[in-house]
Amino acid sequence: MKFEDFEIVSTASYVPEKTVTNEELTKLFDTTDEWIVKRTGIHRRHVVTNETTSSLCTQVANQLLLKSNLMADEIDLIVVATMSPDYLAPSVSSIVQGNIKAKNAIAIDINTACSGFTYGLHLVRQLLIDNHQKNAILIGGENLSKLVDWNDRSTAVLFGDGAGGVLIRSTVDEGTFIAEDLKTLGSYGDYIVAGYTGRPSPFSSQEVGSPFFKMNGRKVYNFAIEEVPKSINNALAQANLCTDDIDFFLLHQANERIIKRISEKIKISADKFLVNIGEYGNTAAASEAILFDQFVKDKTIKRGNKIVFSGFGGGLSVGTIIIKY
Amino acid sequence: MKFEDFEIVSTASYVPEKTVTNEELTKLFDTTDEWIVKRTGIHRRHVVTNETTSSLCTQVANQLLLKSNLMADEIDLIVVATMSPDYLAPSVSSIVQGNIKAKNAIAIDINTACSGFTYGLHLVRQLLIDNHQKNAILIGGENLSKLVDWNDRSTAVLFGDGAGGVLIRSTVDEGTFIAEDLKTLGSYGDYIVAGYTGRPSPFSSQEVGSPFFKMNGRKVYNFAIEEVPKSINNALAQANLCTDDIDFFLLHQANERIIKRISEKIKISADKFLVNIGEYGNTAAASEAILFDQFVKDKTIKRGNKIVFSGFGGGLSVGTIIIKY
The yes-or-no answer to whether A5-171 and A177-324 have a common fold is: yes
- What pLDDT score was predicted for residue B129? 79
Q: Is B99 a catalytic residue?
A: no
Query: Which residues in B lie closer than 8 A to residue A186 (C-beta atoms)?
Result: 90, 93-99, 102, 107
The per-residue pLDDT of chain B, averaged, comes to 95
Whether the predicted interface score ipTM is above 0.95 = yes
CA dihedral A169, A172, A174, A180 (to 10 degrees): 60
Residue A133 banded pLDDT, cuts 50, 70, 90: confident
CA dihedral A221, A248, A165, B113 (to 10 degrees): -40
| Residue from B114, B122, B143, B255 carrying the catalytic annotation | B114
Domain residue spans of chain B? 5-171, 177-324
- What pLDDT score was predicted for residue B153? 92
Quick check: A314 and B89 CB within 8 A?
A: yes
- What pLDDT score was predicted for residue A175? 77
Fold of A5-171: Peroxisomal Thiolase; Chain A, domain 1 (3.40.47)
Query: Which residues in B lie closer than 8 A to residue A96 (C-beta atoms)?
Result: 186
Q: What is the mean pLDDT of residues B288-311?
A: 98
Which of left, alpha, beta for B281 (phi over 0: left; psi -120 to 50: alpha)?
left
Tell me the nearest-neighbour CA distance from B187 into chain A, angstroms: 4
Query: Which residues in B lie closer than 8 A to residue A121 (C-beta atoms)?
Result: none
- What would the pLDDT profile of A22-55 be if each residue is shown by its tens digit? 999 999 999 999 999 999 999 999 999 999 999 9
DSSP labels, A73-92: GG--EEEEE-SS-S-SBS-H
3-state secondary structure A25-67: HCCCCCCCHHHHHHHHCCCEEECCCCCCHHHHHHHHHHHHHHH
Q: How many CB pairs under 8 A join A and B?
A: 271
Architecture of domain B177-324: 3-Layer(aba) Sandwich (3.40)
- What pLDDT score was predicted for residue A68? 96
Quick check: A97 and B202 CB within 8 A?
A: no
- What would the pLDDT profile of B126-138 be if each residue is shown by its tens digit? 998 766 679 999 9
Q: What is the mean pLDDT of residues B65-89?
A: 97
pLDDT over 90, % of chain A = 90
Quick check: B112 and A109 CB within 8 A?
A: yes
Q: What is the mean pLDDT of residues A86-98?
A: 98
Residue A208 banded pLDDT, cuts 50, 70, 90: confident
**pTM over 0.95, yes/no:** yes
CA distance B132 to A54: 34
Q: What is the mean pLDDT of residues B51-74?
A: 98
- What pLDDT score was predicted for residue B1? 46
Residues of A with catalytic annotation?
A: 114, 252, 282
E strand or H helix at A156: helix A153-156
Q: Which of A87, A109, A126 sits opposite B196 (nearest CB)?
A: A87
- What pLDDT score was predicted for residue B130? 67
- What would the pLDDT profile of A244-297 be if each residue is shown by its tens digit? 999 999 999 999 999 999 999 999 988 999 999 999 999 999 999 999 999 999
Pick from B152, B201, B234 the residue to mutate for testing the A interface (most A CBs within 10 Å). Answer: B201
Query: Which residues in B lie closer than 8 A to residue A145 (C-beta atoms)?
Result: 201, 203-204
Quick check: B107 and A112 CB within 8 A?
A: yes
Tell me the nearest-neighbour CA distance from A304 into chain B, angstroms: 25
